[in-house]
């Protein structure tokens, strides 16, 4: 029996030679690839030291191979992968850093930033000369920065959409160009010397917005409309084309010359006064396109002849009829005799008076209360036809009432007689 019992040394040899390899094989078969979160503590080119919170004691793994495809930085959050759970062969598999620096100059394929779970990616561009932030692209906008000094944001280009209180989109999708206060929006063309010639500039300095458009510049609106800025003979600029200044304040522009000018609000003359500051005056307007002239006179031996200015004669359709208003300084009996080129005021005594002559503007005699262009205009043809039909019905109804009333009055008159 004694010969069949193994001593301790023999037992240990048996364990090391037979049981341990068998156990290791069993353990290896049960192992799988295991990943751990880690923090980068040092970077050596394509290798990095990482700290793994494994259990209660942090463990540092040195010089792991970086297989993420991006350049790592200290404090980056990464994932390390241990094949078969063996940390001796672990490598850096993924980077969770919010800011990713792409390795290499040439990139083939698609770069994806952010995802569909409300996580917005961001690309940051730095100025090569000083390392300052020059531009950022994130979410739906591209932001620009003063990279030479202040690092302040100077503007933004992005997709724009108005939303209601519930976050639902309303209105038309658009692209917006936003300039920060104290900065300028400039559109320029490349000059012959390699510089830039400013074509269009918008400034908001000190709370006052100014817009400058360079001479000989076209701004296309669509295939048939454009704004064209051209120098005039006085050294100023003229703007041609359909231009909508709704919501704008246009200050100190000199002279505005336009073929048609439509104002949906008020238009005023600004008059400076000695004791009351600048005050607004309003014009007297008509439903017709009317022009006029006025002046003063005095009858001599009860008569005064007022010649109509030749410029007024060519501007007004005098031949189509004109109106003369007489404003005597004192009560009198008077008569007005109108001729094509003059009119005669006759009074029963010699007095001083004021006069006014009005007539329809030549070439615009048939214009009266037209629809405005794009300002409160009924643009739907069906609505226009409905309105015209309603007016016709109302006119016919009124005509019938007048006709029947006349017949009733005539019948009553015959009964009385």
Q: What is the DSSP string of 331-344?
A: ---EEEEE-SSEEE
- Among the candidates 211, 238, 255, a domain finishes at 211
Do 128 and 176 lie in one domain? The reply is: yes
Is residue 6, in this structure, part of any structural domain at all?
Answer: no
CA separation for the pair 259, 363 (Å, rounded): 14
CB 211 within 8 A of CB 201: yes
pLDDT reported for residue 226: 44
Is residue 368, in this structure, part of any structural domain at all?
Answer: no
- Provide the token pair at 414: 């015959």
Domain count, the chain: 3
Is residue 245, in this structure, part of any structural domain at all?
Answer: no
pTM above 0.85, yes or no: no
Do 80 and 134 lie in one domain? The reply is: no
Do 81 and 134 lie in one domain? The reply is: no
Is residue 174, in this structure, part of any structural domain at all?
Answer: yes
pLDDT reported for residue 412: 63
Is residue 22, in this structure, part of any structural domain at all?
Answer: no
Is residue 367, in this structure, part of any structural domain at all?
Answer: no
What is the domain range of residue 308? 290-360
- Among the candidates 160, 187, 211, a domain finishes at 211
Do 69 and 126 lie in one domain? The reply is: no
Do 128 and 155 lie in one domain? The reply is: yes
Do 94 and 136 lie in one domain? The reply is: no
Q: pLDDT grade, residue 375 (50/70/90)?
A: very low
| Percentage, residues of the chain above pLDDT 70 | 60
Q: Which residue carries 């569909």 as its tokens?
A: 116
> Which range has the worst mean pLDDT, 194-203, 263-272, 343-352?
194-203
DSSP 113-182: -EETTTEE-EEEEE-TTT--EEEEEETTEEEEE-TTTT--EEEEEEEEEEE-TTS-EEEEEEEEEEE-TT
CATH code of the domain covering residue 61? 2.40.50.140
CA 386 to chain centre: 35
SS3 string, 40-77, reads EEEEECCEEEEEEEECCEEEEEEEEEECCCEECCCCCE
Is residue 65, in this structure, part of any structural domain at all?
Answer: yes
What is the rounded average pLDDT of the residues 366-375? 76
Question: Does residue 351 have a pLDDT over 50?
Answer: yes
What is the rounded average pLDDT of the residues 368-376? 69
Q: What's the mean pLDDT when you consider all of the chain?
A: 75
pLDDT reported for residue 415: 59
pLDDT reported for residue 255: 67
pLDDT reported for residue 96: 77
- Among the candidates 75, 102, 129, a domain finishes at 102
Within a 10 A sphere around the Cβ of 300, how many other Cβ atoms? 9
pLDDT tens-digit series, residues 182-213: 788 877 778 888 887 766 676 655 555 555 55
DSSP helix/strand/coil, 404: helix
CA 224 to chain centre: 21
CA separation for the pair 102, 94 (Å, rounded): 13
Q: Which residue has the higher pLDDT, 166 or 415?
A: 166
Q: pLDDT grade, residue 136 (50/70/90)?
A: confident
CB 321 within 8 A of CB 365: no
CA separation for the pair 101, 124 (Å, rounded): 9
Do 298 and 355 lie in one domain? The reply is: yes
Return the closest-CA partner of residue 262 out of 240, 242, 292, 239: 242
Is residue 251, in this structure, part of any structural domain at all?
Answer: no
CB 95 within 8 A of CB 48: no
Question: Does residue 239 have a pLDDT over 70?
Answer: no
Do 86 and 130 lie in one domain? The reply is: no
Q: Which one-letter DSSP state was computed for residue 308?
A: P
């Amino acid at each position: 029996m004694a010969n069949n019992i193994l001593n301790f040394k023999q037992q240990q040899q048996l364990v090391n030679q037979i049981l341990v390899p068998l156990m290791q094989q069993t353990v290896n078969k049960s192992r799988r690839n295991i990943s751990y979160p880690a923090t980068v503590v040092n970077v050596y080119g394509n290798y990095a030291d990482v700290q793994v919170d494994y259990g209660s004691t942090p463990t540092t793994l040195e010089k792991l191979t970086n297989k993420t495809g991006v350049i790592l930085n200290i404090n980056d959050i990464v994932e390390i992968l241990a094949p078969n759970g063996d940390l001796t062969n672990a490598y850096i598999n993924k980077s969770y850093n919010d800011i990713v620096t792409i390795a290499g100059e040439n990139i083939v394929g698609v770069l994806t930033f952010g995802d569909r779970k409300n996580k917005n990616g961001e690309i940051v561009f730095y100025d090569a000369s000083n390392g300052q932030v020059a531009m950022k692209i994130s979410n739906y906008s591209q932001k620009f920065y003063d990279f030479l000094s202040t690092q302040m944001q100077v503007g933004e280009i992005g997709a724009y959409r108005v939303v209601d209180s519930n976050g639902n989109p309303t209105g038309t999708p658009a692209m917006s160009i936003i300039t920060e206060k104290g900065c300028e929006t400039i559109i320029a063309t490349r000059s012959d010397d390699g510089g830039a010639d400013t074509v269009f500039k918008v400034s908001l300095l000190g709370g006052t917005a100014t817009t400058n458009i360079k001479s000989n510049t076209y701004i296309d609106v669509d295939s048939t409309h454009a704004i064209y800025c051209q120098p005039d003979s006085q050294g100023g600029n003229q703007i041609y084309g359909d231009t909508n200044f709704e919501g704008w304040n246009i200050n100190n522009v000199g002279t505005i010359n336009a073929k048609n000018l439509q104002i949906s609000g008020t238009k005023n003359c600004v008059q400076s006064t000695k004791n009351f500051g600048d005050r607004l005056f309003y014009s007297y307007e008509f439903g017709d396109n009317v022009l006029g002239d006025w002046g003063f006179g005095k009858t001599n031996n009860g008569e005064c002849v007022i010649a109509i200015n030749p410029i007024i004669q060519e501007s007004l359709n005098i031949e189509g009829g004109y109106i003369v208003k007489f404003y005597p300084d004192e009560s009198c009996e008077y008569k007005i005799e109108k001729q094509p080129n003059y009119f005669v005021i006759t009074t029963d005594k010699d007095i001083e008076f004021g006069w006014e002559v009005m007539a329809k503007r030549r070439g615009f005699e048939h214009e009266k209360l037209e629809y405005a262009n794009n300002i409160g205009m009924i643009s739907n043809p069906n609505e226009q036809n409905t309105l015209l039909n309603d007016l016709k019905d109302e006119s016919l109804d009124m005509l019938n009432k007048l006709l029947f009333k006349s017949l009733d009055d005539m019948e009553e008159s015959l009964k009385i007689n």
